[in-house]
Amino acid sequence: TRRSRGRPMKQRLLVVANRLPVSAVRKGEDSWSLEISAGGLVSALLGVKDVDAKWIGWAGVNVPDEVGQRALTRALAEKRCIPVFLDEDIVHQYYNGYCNNMLWPLFHYLGLPQEDRLATTRSFQSQFDAYKRANQMFADVVNAHYQEGDVVWCHDYHLMFLPKCLKEYNSKMKVGWFLHTPFPSSEIHRTLPSRSELLRSVLAADLVGFHTYDYARHFVSACTRILGLEGTPEGVEDQGRLTRVAAFPIGIDSDRFKRALELPAVKEHINELTQRFRGRKVMLGVDRLDMIKGIPQKILAFEKFLEENSAWRDKVVLLQIAVPTRTDVPEYQKLTSQVHEIVGRINGRFGTLTAVPIHHLDRSLDFHALCALYAVTDVALVTSLRDGMNLVSYEFVACQGQKKGVLILSEFAGAAQSLGAGALLVNPWNITEVAASIEYALNMSPDEREKRHRHNYAHVTTHTAQDWAETFVSELNDTVVEAQLRTRQ
């Protein structure tokens, strides 16, 4: 901790992520309205003890003019945010292209559709160049705000090139990088044309973190097999320099959910929903409308369940909240129509004049509405085909103190490693198995539900987002100190 006039100064933390935790809407030439998204990650990072955090990232809007940029920078400063301005072309190539059409599907073990494969192979180089350019732009902004002693924490697959850019500016900068997605088997990573360059730039960081031990192991294997470096229990070694690699499973701010459930407005909403679905069991899915979430597979499994269990048909409802995301990427557009088609077919098949089995919403819900929905749910269905962690499963558990509902959870979500003993784990590709789990969950005895819930609740309420962030930051500080001691020896 640094001191100023005898008073200890908080260490500054620069959090660098593709997206700032705000939504910005332009109101006039030089005025903006900002809404801070009070997600778990934001409160986790702002709550890190003895640390003064600032965010650096893209505000998600195109601001071509300087007047607008200056005004937005001023407005964001009040929210402890610093913008990186990306123009439309770079957003198209870096964000829609390289990040979301190349790295995202690859890291989640999803191949590209056949017709896109050749086109993507051809545009690969220009997209990768844009990715590097974008990462350099983030580095320029970090460098302009950096002060000696700051900790710089880079986030996610958008910024794999950033650690290298930062260390080129200043080799003494404390740099950490954390991946929020899975890191795939080295055999998958090997197929990426830029495989070595990306690994080398990540290795420039002092500390590299993943949600699970498996992802960390895959990363170390990629470094040993593709780069020929040495993997040690501590991380990866390259000519005497160690990059520390470790698992830091993220959590949620569970108290925030518990507090929300005590609010009169939320209680009232819970009562309304209970009335509305009286006589039916409520099953819930909450996902970004993304290929990795396995929404079509989940709905097909629900159809199979209805097919095989006619007695349940008018006694259960599936509420699927599908939050639109990355709507400029063609794959996401196709997914939306595919899901609508399946939902329409099933509602046509099993609906009655007064009720339909699936309520599908293409939108997000505000925090309080979401908490109420979690609280009235009997069975939550999280059937991601792959997922770095999946915090919906944690949020559901945090809101189930009363009801003690069942969580059906994909074995391919990082959360399966922490909630595996309490949840019903499924292979989301096997719709017969998922349909059988739905039946099992709906018929589960109160004793078994209680036992399973207790396990999950204990985990979710003790492994919080704040602990996660504090552990990463203190480990990063320690790693740098150890490295300095080693080089002095």
| Nearest to ligand G6P of 316, 389 (CB atom) | 389
**CB proximity list for 181: less than 8 A, separation 6 or greater:** 104, 107, 108, 156, 157, 388
* Residue 18 Cβ vs ligand G6P, minimum distance, rounded to whole Å: 6
Residues in the chain: 489
Cβ of residue 320: shortest distance to ligand G6P, in angstroms?
18
Nearer to ligand G6P, 192 or 372 (CB): 192
> Which pair of structure tokens corresponds to residue 289?
């409308």
Which has the closest alpha carbon to 480: 165, 47, 11? 11
Query: In the complex, what is the shortest distance from the CB of residue 164 to ligand G6P, in angstroms, rounded to a whole number?
Result: 20
Q: Which is nearer to ligand G6P, 156 or 206 (CB)?
A: 156
User: Reduced to 3 states, what is the DSSP secondary structure of residue 251?
Assistant: coil
CB of 387 to ligand G6P, least distance (A): 9
> What token pair was written down for 371?
């908490």
Q: How far is the CB of 58 from ligand G6P (least distance, A)?
A: 9
Tell me whether residue 273 or residue 289 sits nearer to ligand G6P (CB atom).
289
Q: Which helix (H) or strand (E) holds 277?
A: none
Shortest reach from residue 220's CB to ligand G6P, in Å: 21
The sign one gets for the Cα dihedral 238, 242, 247, 252 is negative
Indicate the residue among 156 and 253 with the shorter CB distance to ligand G6P: 156
CB-nearer residue toward ligand G6P: 325 or 427:
325
User: Which residue is at the shortest CB distance from ligand G6P?
Assistant: 180
* Binding interface with ligand G6P (CB under 6 A): 19, 156, 180-181, 325-326
- The Cα 456–Cα 420 span in angstroms is 8
Cα gap 336→415, rounded to integer Å: 25
CB nearer to ligand G6P: pick between 365 and 483:
365
Cα 79-84-89 angle, rounded to 5 deg: 140
Min dist. Cβ of residue 181 to ligand G6P (A): 5
Per-residue 3-state assignment (H helix, E strand, C coil) for 188-245: HHCCCCCHHHHHHHHHCCCEEEECCHHHHHHHHHHHHHHHCCEECCCEEEECCEEEEE
Amino acid at 297: Q
Which are the contacts of 460, defined by CB distance < 8 A and separation ≥ 6?
251, 252, 254, 394, 397, 398, 419
Instruction: Give the shortest CB-345-to-ligand G6P separation in angstroms.
Output: 29
From residue 220, how far is each of 198, 403, 477 by CA, in Å? 13, 42, 21
156 versus 303: smaller Cβ distance to ligand G6P: 156
Q: What is the rounded CA–CA span in Å between residue 11 and residue 50?
A: 7
- Residue (206 or 290) nearer to ligand G6P, CB: 290
- In order of 76, 268, 396, 397, the CA distances from 45 in angstroms are 17, 31, 22, 22
Q: Least Å distance between CB 217 and ligand G6P?
A: 20
For the CB of residue 326, give the shortest distance to ligand G6P in the complex, in Å: 5
**d(C-alpha 114, C-alpha 429), whole Å:** 20
Comparison of 242 and 329: residue with beta carbon closer to ligand G6P: 329
